[in-house]
Amino acid sequence: MSTSGEGTYHHGNLRRSLIAAAQALLRSGGIEAVTLREAARQAGVSHNAPYRHFPSREALLAAVAAEGFRTLHRTQSDAAAEVDPADRLKAFGRAYLRFAAEERATFRLMFGGTLDPADHPELAAVARGTFGALVAVTQEDATSGKGIVGRDALRAWALVHGLAHLVADRQIDTAQAEACLM
């Protein structure tokens, strides 16, 4: 029989639980609401337990942002898989806009300048992978003779990213943004 003190230290997947708690805090209260102590409380562990996985609040936020990039990448890939190759780039853009609309706080954390990816290698790698998927779709589209390549991939991302910020900030709705896609 364990005491309540022992129960706070025996956790199945503490890292994953802390990230999930931080995601919930982020969604409900924004970046300011995410603290190691509150994530620990939400995960049902002692306030010192998070330090086994995250040396700082910033490290926890970086893990949440990395998870956001993974979700965005998965969402875009799923959307692209459901359409003809000629429509994949547009599907990527729509998925990006939906992510910004549905995960506003996570989107802001990922792209708002709070974190420097250079300080968080996992975050940097996942972010590069997400952009790499866009580049791959633009190159695939280009081989069909009507797509974009090279710097145009960056231009496409800049367009969609700007629209996504407007959606996340509720300046325009998703339908208005989608109407601007190529």
pLDDT-derived band at 150 (thresholds 50, 70, 90) equals low
3-state SS string for the chain = CCCHHHHCCCCCCHHHHHHHHHHHHHHHHCHHHCCHHHHHHHHCCCCCHHHHCCCCHHHHHHHHHHHHHHHHHHHHHHHHHCCCHHHHHHHHHHHHHHHHHHCHHHHHHHHCCCCCHHHCHHHHHHHHHHHHHHHHHHHHHHHCCCCCCCHHHHHHHHHHHHHHHHHHCCCCCHHHHHHCCC
Domain range holding 2?
A: 1-55
2 or 107: whose pLDDT is higher?
Answer: 107
Q: Are residues 115 and 147 in the same domain?
A: yes
Q: Are residues 40 and 70 in the same domain?
A: no
Q: Are residues 176 and 91 in the same domain?
A: yes
Q: Are residues 88 and 22 in the same domain?
A: no
Q: Are residues 89 and 131 in the same domain?
A: yes
What pLDDT is recorded for position 11? 62
pLDDT digits (tens, 9 = 90+) for 40-51: 999 999 999 999
Residue 149's CATH number: 1.10.357.10
pLDDT-derived band at 143 (thresholds 50, 70, 90) equals low
Q: Are residues 36 and 66 in the same domain?
A: no
Q: How many domains does the chain have?
A: 2
What pLDDT is recorded for position 141? 61
Residue 14's CATH number: 1.10.10
